[in-house]
Structure 1
């Protein structure tokens, strides 16, 4: 029975709808085979191949575009899997005839079942994160463009301000030149208005002089010659203030002149004196350590003790495989790699058997899908090409480890965690 379960969802409606349509065709073909409707075999094979071709034209292109935008490192592997999908379609198209319709339809269903349980659950699940990366990259690019635009606008405004300042300087120089020309003309007597104030102030000065002269005449007539000595004394006294003034002119002003530069220099000194910088404390933030992809964290817990314990062991076995592959101090490690992969396969078979036993004991509705998924995963482990691993150990095993880890993560989060916890059944499982 082929149903579009939650564990098949990538979170992208366009991709999920394409997967759903494939599963619907697969279920129709399965029912026809189960009922022995031979007349429908050829039609259903053609229908599935058409759906698969449409799947390639639309969905695979879309998936690759998303991964390209997000610069996803898995793009090359995704393209390789899509190429294999296309090759299967071409092979079935060329071999279709009315004599082997049953074999063709059965073969197509087996391939698609494996495709769903391996490629979709291990690779397509990552498309959702790739789309989020692509959107984040688009937002970052937009923000960067806005920042550059603001910087360009600020630079333009600064340049405009400099241009205005230069224009103002030119205008000021022009005004100064015009004023200087006016002063030259005034000094030469060309303009009469400049002379009128001088004449106006000169007239009262002449009147004062006549009065003083008349007063002196009267004083000289009325005052005897003996009093002329008295006039000399006031004159001497009048001269004393002049001397004091002279001393003040020679003394105090010079002190002021000497003091003035010092007082004027004080603000300048204050302005130029460097401020004492306050000691700054440099805060060094600790960098977050990258997430451990092999860590069995709380998010993977199903609350079923034995299942969780076995899942943790599987994570550790995948980690050991990775560490063995990347151990630079071990030269010939091919035999060790085969040994740990076989240990991983055997333990996986045991774990799946325990899970299925628990699901049977609680009459779990999702058991058929779980069995199909387990079977496909074990087949993947059984079909490992050790010759390919021997030719290029690191690359071939990195691909295998990536598949194992992705499949395990997606299967636990989207399938195993749906299993309800029944205390009695979980306790018996531990016996």
Structure 2
């Protein structure tokens, strides 16, 4: 089962409630896939797809309207991602018939929804409700509040805070005219170090048989994907905007992830 946790909150009540609804649809899809008693699932699959179509129509409209109202810089990207989601769901309706392998269709749908959930909500939507005037942004400082009690994890979290501090330094440097090379270096450092850190963290969770490992992996994949999908041409043309968005994303994601997800990791093996 997939659980809506605090690190999925974006801070906009209507959108958060609609994200909760997507979690419910995903869990119901999982239950339908796992149902070994029901032989013919055709009508249930069609009903699920229709719910998703209705959900997408309403939710994406609300999300885009809100983003437009606050002049969010990533509105055009969100619209493209929303269109891709609609096309994927519509494609299932157009190609699916009662003769199709129903379990395969369900499995494909579930995989897509889970990937969307973690890559889109946690990676992209997370920032919608976090937009603040650039002057209010400050670099977060590592403190005891972020300690997990796992020495290796805490050590690596400190390093991530240091890198965020470097992003803040470059972002607030008023004398640098061209920051492109520094931005690229920071993106590479973030990508490489987070992959290294996430691997260590996941190995530890696996060693203690932590039941939240799979959810952590998906959140980690979403974070890395966000960094890898950044368009360097856009970065070059919009350097300050890139830095401000990156600073906001890193601060909100890291703080939320540590406080609401990593701190739940036990410091020893689970029974």
Interval containing the TM-score (normalised by the shorter chain): 0.7 to 0.9
Say which SS state the counterpart of residue 52 (structure 2) adopts: helix
CA change 1:5–1:304 in 2 (3 A) is same
Residues 8-407 of structure 1 correspond to what in structure 2 (within 5 A)?
A: 8-9=8-9, 15-32=15-32, 39=42, 40-56=44-60, 60=63, 64=66, 76-77=72-73, 83-84=79-80, 86-92=82-88, 95=91, 96-99=93-96, 102=105, 106-124=111-129, 126=130, 292-407=138-253
1:118 touches 1:376 (CA, 8 Å); kept in 2?
yes
- Distance across 2 between alignment mates of 1:388 and 1:119: 17
The gaps in structure 2 that reach 5 residues or longer are: none
Cα shift at 1:10: 5.8
Matched pairs, number: 254
Work out which of the two has the higher radius of gyration on C-alpha atoms and give 1 or 2. Answer: 1
Cα shift at 1:105: 6.3
Say which SS state the counterpart of residue 195 (structure 2) adopts: helix
- Distance across 2 between alignment mates of 1:78 and 1:312: 29
TM-score, reference length from structure 2: 0.75
- Distance across 1 between alignment mates of 2:234 and 2:243: 9
What do residues 347-384 of structure 1 show as CA deviations (whole Å, max 9, x unaligned)? 10111111112212222221111111001111111112
CA change 1:21–1:397 in 2 (3 A) is same
User: Once superposed, what is the RMSD of the aligned Cα atoms?
Assistant: 3.6
Cα shift at 1:120: 4.2
2:138 touches 2:168 (CA, 8 Å); kept in 1?
no
2:140 touches 2:161 (CA, 8 Å); kept in 1?
yes
What do residues 12-48 of structure 1 show as CA deviations (whole Å, max 9, x unaligned)? 7655432221111122334555779873544433322
2:139 touches 2:164 (CA, 8 Å); kept in 1?
no
CA change 1:330–1:291 in 2 (3 A) is closer
1:416 to 245, 262, 266: 262
The gaps in structure 1 that reach 5 residues or longer are: 69-73, 130-289, 426-431
Cα shift at 1:92: 3.9
Cα shift at 1:2: 2.0
- Distance across 1 between alignment mates of 2:109 and 2:205: 33
Query: Structure 1 runs of 4+ off > 6 angstroms?
Result: 34-38
What do residues 57-99 of structure 1 show as CA deviations (whole Å, max 9, x unaligned)? 5x538x939x96xxxxx65247556644543454346544125
CA change 1:335–1:56 in 2 (3 A) is closer
User: Highest relative contact order (Cα 8 Å, sep 6+), 1 or 2?
Assistant: 2
- Distance across 2 between alignment mates of 1:110 and 1:11: 22
2:7 touches 2:122 (CA, 8 Å); kept in 1?
no
